[in-house]
Amino acid sequence: MSEPKRESILIDPRAMNVVNRIAAGGRQSGTYRCAGGLLVQGSIKGEIEITGGPLILMPEGQLAGTIKCDGEAYLFGTIAAQDNGAPSDLDVQGVVFMAETLVAKANVTAGGIKTFQGAQVDGRINTVRREESLGLKAEAGASAELVAPASVLEAA
Amino acid sequence: MSHDIVLTRLIVGDPFTVDFGAPVGQQFNSSKIGEAICWTDGHWSSAEPIIISRTVEPSLREQDADHEERASTGGDGAAPGDVCSSAQSTPLGRKPPRAWRKPGLIAAGLVVLSAAAIGVTWVVWGNQTTKGADSAKSAPAAPASAAASAAELPIPQAGPGVRVVDHPYETAPAAPSVADAALPIAPRETVAAASAAVQTPAPRAQAVREPSRPKIPQAESTQQRPPAVVLDEGKGASASSSATKPPAVALPQGAASGAAAVSREPAKAAPVPGAVARPTAGPRAGGLVAVTPDGKTAVFTNPTTRMPEQFKIGDKLPNGEVIRAIEPKDGRVITSAKEYSLE
């Protein structure tokens, strides 16, 4: 039996309007409202809202808390439970791609789900027909609005 | 898996490829497609794939020449955000599975056929009812139509000079209509008017009658008829007529005076008052009314005018007969055709 063919994705931050990044090794906690896509290579914990772009959770990245995204989500990393032990909540307007390296303890609500062999999800997965936005407004060209003081994260 | 990605502060970098892994039951050409199960005919079975392959559309795509160049160099030639694979990616299809299509089509076909059958039934039943109503309507209309047709029969057109009347006989004189005004109406001959012109004394009313016309065989009439003689009016005529004149008959006084008065008048004068005693029963066409005592004249009724007229011997009566002799004694008048007598 031949192995199934693998799939990959071409991430072009400029084309996909990914203007927000949590670099590897960085840790953030709090409330994040990102205008534009978010690329997570570090760790973010808290309430995160992403408008105008996708959520890209790199394999070394980690999320926890309540995450809302009006685009798509490409999950390669880890979604941990909240501090109280409850699963995190991920609400994505578009399609959620659960890569093989995903390890999530979260309830996922998305417009569509695409799973890949090896993805581990501990929680409910809900797919709904999105006709209304989440109420998030995306301003074109606007920088990420961080409650916490802005920090420059550079790859180590 | 480590990614040597150089990302600046502005997060501007070259596109990079990230591996998803092997999709779960979503790859159209996957060899494990047989592991996919579907509900068919009331049971789960591993059958043909139920998901149609479809490329994932990125949420954000910028139509840029540089972007296309990067995309062409960055990966497998796919646009950014696209899930790349040697086989087409297959997101969750929203179309109904093929296995469900056949029963669905069959059910839809049955519904359509039943609806068509019901519709046809309604139409046929409706036509029948309408036909019945039409027939019911047409049945009583038949005699009406016959009557109408009879009423509509063409009335024969009367020719010129013909007056069409509703009644075959006119019982009472009606006022002439406008249509009848152009047609000539024959004058009515009233008996009263004719009789009023003639004064008849009462005692003589019954004495004088129109003599009945004797049946004279033609052979005898031809034999007894004297040869026609054209007599001139005036003295010569009177002299010739006096030779063959029978002796005079004494008439009653009134008649004599009336006859004398009449003798002075021309032969064919107006009616003679007092000399004629006419029966009240009614005038008789061409009948002898009276004879003068001297035997010179006789009074006959003109059938055309219904008025009494005097004729002498040799005069021609209205009926064409010529007076040959007048016998006042017997009250007879002999003509070329027959003999008249007073009854």
pLDDT digits (tens, 9 = 90+) for B33-44: 555 666 677 777
Size of interface A-B (CB pairs under 8 A): 182
Query: What's the pLDDT tens digit per position in B125-165?
Result: 767 666 555 554 544 444 444 444 445 555 666 566 666 66
Element (H, E) at B178: helix B178-181
Nearest chain A CA: its distance from B34 CA (Å):
11
Query: Which residues fall within 8 angstroms of residue A27, CB to CB, at 6 or more apart?
Result: A42, A43, A44, A45
Nearest chain B CA: its distance from A46 CA (Å):
22
Is B61 near chain A, with CB under 8 Å? Answer: yes
- Three-class secondary structure of residue A62 per DSSP: strand
Is A39 near chain B, with CB under 8 Å? Answer: yes
Structure tokens of B268? 């064919």
A18 to B62: CB separation less than 8 angstroms, yes or no: no
Neighbours of A82 (CB within 10 A): 16
Whether the CB-CB separation of A55 and A67 falls below 8 Å is answered with: yes
A15 to B56: CB separation less than 8 angstroms, yes or no: no
Q: Which residues between 20 and 49 in chain B have a beta carbon less than 8 angstroms from any beta carbon of chain A?
A: 20-24, 26-27, 29-32
Beta-strand pair A78-80/A62-69:
parallel
Highest mean pLDDT among A42-46, B168-172, B290-294, B319-323: A42-46
Would you state the pLDDT for residue B114? 87
Q: Which amino acid is at A94?
A: G
Q: Tell me the chain A residues in contact with residue B60 when contact means C-beta distances shorter than 8 Å.
A: 15-17, 37, 52-54, 71
Highest mean pLDDT among A71-75, B259-263, B290-294: A71-75
Is B58 near chain A, with CB under 8 Å? Answer: yes
pTM: 0.37
pLDDT tier for residue A154 given thresholds of 50, 70 and 90: very low
Neighbours of B93 (CB within 10 A): 15
Higher pLDDT, B342 or B263: B342
Q: Tell me the chain A residues in contact with residue B80 when contact means C-beta distances shorter than 8 Å.
A: 10-12, 15-16
Is A26 near chain B, with CB under 8 Å? Answer: no
Whether the CB-CB separation of A21 and B11 falls below 8 Å is answered with: yes
Higher pLDDT, A106 or B274: A106
B60 to A97: CB separation less than 8 angstroms, yes or no: no
What average pLDDT score do residues B266-270 get? 47
Element (H, E) at A45: strand A43-51
DSSP string, B107-159: HHHHHHHHHHHHHHHHHHHHHHHHHHHHHHHHHHHHHHHHHHHHHTSPPPPP-
B12, B20, B85: residue with CB nearest A99:
B20
Burial of A142: CB neighbours in 10 Å, binned 0-12, 13-18, 19+: middle
Q: Is this prediction's ipTM beyond 0.85?
A: no
Would you state the pLDDT for residue A129? 83
Neighbours of B143 (CB within 10 A): 9
